[in-house]
Structure 1
Amino acid sequence: MEINKFILFTLSLVLILGVNVESFHYLEKELESEQGLQGLYDRWRSEHKVQAKGPERFNVFKYNVQRVHASNKQNKTYRSELNQFADLTHHEMLKTYTSNIEHYLALKGPHGPIKGSAPSGGGSIAGDASKLPKEVDWRNHNAVTPVKNQGQCGSCWAFAAVGAVEGINAIVTGQLVRLSEQQLLDCDNDGRNNACGGGLPCEAFQFIKDHGGLATEESYPYVGVRETCCFAKFGHHSVTLDGGWRLTINVESDLMDSLARQPVEIALDASGDFMFYKEGIFTGSCGTNINHSMLCVGYGETPEGQKYWIVKNSWGEGWGEKGYIRLVRGVEDPVGVCGMYQYATVPMKGPETRNIEL
């Protein structure tokens, strides 16, 4: 009987707070005093196994508590939480976990095909939206590997690129294989990409084509820092490509058209509420200075009619909806929410392009 009462009390508390049972939650009374905040900080550190502490880290935590609490008090379609980034400043988080995509785009110059022709059916020509599926989710077609974690390295570009390659390879061959981000960090460094310093997925696609494929994660595991390139891994247990293609800038229908065929790499601005996203359909706040690459794996619509994109991140399953975020679709801004329509790419692979030793 006592156990049943405890379970009912716990469920009631969750409903009252309006939080996910897997979230790190708090009571409002903990925010009313320095002692309460200190206790909340200690609980958060224990939950996320954070050893570092000090007056400055505590100040940052309190600042972020106010941000998250204020955001969740508003009538938004998404919720924020005190996740693994709660003791980081906005600047620290962006510096460590994102990549300055715009910097590398400027160095590359005006966009166009990486090499070869556009994918079948378009790629730079938007399809007829009325002929597209109402919803797409490549996770349901064995074309998306489990969520990965880039760690404290600005290698999002490599994870997004690898995710896209894993997707098209699974679609073409029927074989879902986890591939190596580390090989890109170590070897794709001839001035096009810069390991934890950032890079462009489109350049990674060309690198994979030029070097005879990308190794499996098992044969070339991730360590999260640039190490010496293992040239012996090229051409063994590798997935090959025909090149890549960049989608038309600021055309939502082009992204939908491409997603109907394969997962698509995108880039956006991960500032504002993005770092603390927990669940729901994210509508902002954020800017349009694209600095983070992710993998778009589909799109859908709620029963109420709100349209969204399904996007896989590389910050582990503890962030967002088990590592995913749903971004609002159909906004008036031509660049999309957080600028996500400014840069999107796909790898190209035909059925005749054989893998090596797989």
Structure 2
Amino acid sequence: MRHESVCVFTILVWTGGFHYLGYTTMKFLIVLVAVALAANALSDREQWDEFKLKHGKSYRNLAEETRRFAIFQDNLRVIEQHNAKYERGETSFARGVNRFTDMTKEEIKKLLNRKPSPKTGNTMTAAMINATVADSLDWRAQGAVATVKDQGDCGSCWAFAAVGAMESAYYMKNGQLVQFSEQQLIDCTTSYGTVGCDGGFMQGGFEYAHDNGISTEDAYPYAAKDQSCQSTTVFLTISSFVQIEQNEDTIKSVVGTVGPVGVAIYADDIVSYSSGVYDNPSCPNSSEELDHEVLLVGYGSENGQDYWLIKNSWGTNWGESGYIKLARNSNMCGIAQDSAYPVL
């Protein structure tokens, strides 16, 4: 007959007073903890599989996938911790898993390649605007905003901001929504101070469209990489562009009268934004830290909180179908520092 020795032990716990737990109870608790940990790991794995499928992710080998899964888990914990605060009403926005969740902060930073703007052109001030604007406005409802696009792995946000502003300006003047070529700006504006997928600024795109004109996206399609400048048919030439005074009231007046405008923001922390009004007082707002350019298409209020409605260039699976509501009247993430729009 085989005999197994069992080490019997006790543990002291606090349950309103000190009590002893025997071996059987302790073993049960250990099993519970193990099950809980296994369930959490399974949940992570399920979300990982869903993430890869949804965003078309594939990796060159098992080692790379293992590394990416570890990054994904770290980012997932941050998202979960933040959303717990959101559920308790301690923050005004939620975070979520998106195509950036397997990337490190350093890798994401490389995609945020907005270069410092020379801010040339005429400057629009509040004194130049003599109009009362609506309390809330969404230019999408007027048909003045093209569909959300995806810049991919090319640091070309500046080209999307410039093209978005030109698309909306063309609609405001002609009542027709035509999509213009971001790739043309990426390929052809290096003499204006931009560096293609390595970054730029919308003013360089405006200056190019003034001097050379711009083609449609169909004629010069997006490739998400640097190419040589190609000869193409010009569809639109702009007459100038206007820099807006660094004041949110002025920006609101311009958006309310002229239409959507391009703006620069600090975007490192918004990559995991999912919904709600992004209000983060720790988001840097100095002009030196702006690293992303987007299209400002309206403004409004949600649950008593004023916001800017912003169209991003990270696809419709990011944020609120490609958009973010950014808190208004506090220069959130530097939104008042650099904004401009083209004049046709």
* TM-score between both structures, scaled by the size of structure 1: 0.78
The residue that corresponds to 1:267 in the other structure is 264
Secondary structure of 1:299's match?
A: strand
2:282 aligned with 1:281, yes or no?
no
Secondary structure of 1:279's match?
A: strand
- Structure 1 residues 50 and 31 mapped into 2: Cα distance closer, same or farther (>3 Å)? farther
The residue that corresponds to 1:4 in the other structure is none
Question: 90, 99, 118: which is aligned to 2:105?
Answer: 90
d(CA) in 2 for partners of 1:252, 1:47: 37
Q: Which amino acid aligns with 1:100?
A: R
- Structure 1 residues 128 and 160 mapped into 2: Cα distance closer, same or farther (>3 Å)? closer
Greater shift in the superposed pair: 127-136 or 138-147 = 127-136
- RMSD of aligned residue pairs (Cα, Å): 2.0
Secondary structure of 2:126's match?
A: coil
Q: CA deviation at 1:45?
A: 1.7
Q: CA deviation at 1:169?
A: 0.8
2:53 aligned with 1:65, yes or no?
no
- Structure 1 residues 126 and 133 mapped into 2: Cα distance closer, same or farther (>3 Å)? farther
d(CA) in 1 for partners of 2:343, 2:38: 52
Greater shift in the superposed pair: 125-134 or 74-83 = 125-134
- Structure 1 residues 130 and 168 mapped into 2: Cα distance closer, same or farther (>3 Å)? closer
**Contact 1:267/1:340, CA 8 A, preserved across alignment:** yes
- Structure 1 residues 81 and 343 mapped into 2: Cα distance closer, same or farther (>3 Å)? same
Q: CA deviation at 1:248?
A: 1.4
**Contact 1:127/1:253, CA 8 A, preserved across alignment:** no
The residue that corresponds to 1:340 in the other structure is 335
The residue that corresponds to 2:328 in the other structure is 329
* Runs of 4+ deviating beyond 6 Å: 127-130
- Structure 1 residues 243 and 71 mapped into 2: Cα distance closer, same or farther (>3 Å)? same
Alignment of 1:146-225 (within 5 A): 146-211=147-212, 213-225=213-225
d(CA) in 2 for partners of 1:127, 1:281: 30
* TM-score between both structures, scaled by the size of structure 2: 0.81
The residue that corresponds to 2:95 in the other structure is 80
2:237 aligned with 1:226, yes or no?
no
**Contact 1:127/1:254, CA 8 A, preserved across alignment:** no
d(CA) in 1 for partners of 2:178, 2:284: 35
Deviations 1:118-174 (A, max 9, x none): 5xxxx2235779922111211122211000011100000000000000011110111
**Contact 1:159/1:294, CA 8 A, preserved across alignment:** yes
Share of identical aligned residues, percent? Answer: 32
Secondary structure of 1:190's match?
A: helix
Deviations 1:78-109 (A, max 9, x none): 1100111110011111212x2133xx33xx3x
Question: 46, 60, 64: which is aligned to 2:53?
Answer: 46
Q: Which amino acid aligns with 1:311?
A: I
Secondary structure of 1:214's match?
A: coil
The residue that corresponds to 1:305 in the other structure is 304
- Structure 1 residues 214 and 31 mapped into 2: Cα distance closer, same or farther (>3 Å)? farther
The number of aligned residues is 296
d(CA) in 1 for partners of 2:38, 2:129: 52
The residue that corresponds to 2:253 in the other structure is 257
d(CA) in 1 for partners of 2:329, 2:130: 12
Question: 237, 240, 243: which is aligned to 1:243?
Answer: 240
Secondary structure of 2:69's match?
A: helix
**Contact 1:280/1:326, CA 8 A, preserved across alignment:** yes
d(CA) in 2 for partners of 1:330, 1:35: 43
The residue that corresponds to 2:296 in the other structure is 296
**Contact 2:108/2:268, CA 8 A, preserved across alignment:** no
Q: CA deviation at 1:314?
A: 0.3
- Structure 1 residues 290 and 129 mapped into 2: Cα distance closer, same or farther (>3 Å)? farther
Q: Which amino acid aligns with 2:103?
A: L
Unaligned runs of 5+ in 2: 1-35
**Contact 1:206/1:243, CA 8 A, preserved across alignment:** yes
The residue that corresponds to 1:17 in the other structure is none
Unaligned runs of 5+ in 1: 1-28, 350-358
**Contact 1:79/1:280, CA 8 A, preserved across alignment:** yes
Q: Which amino acid aligns with 2:222?
A: Y
Q: CA deviation at 1:32?
A: 5.8
d(CA) in 2 for partners of 1:262, 1:314: 18
Greater shift in the superposed pair: 322-331 or 52-61 = 52-61
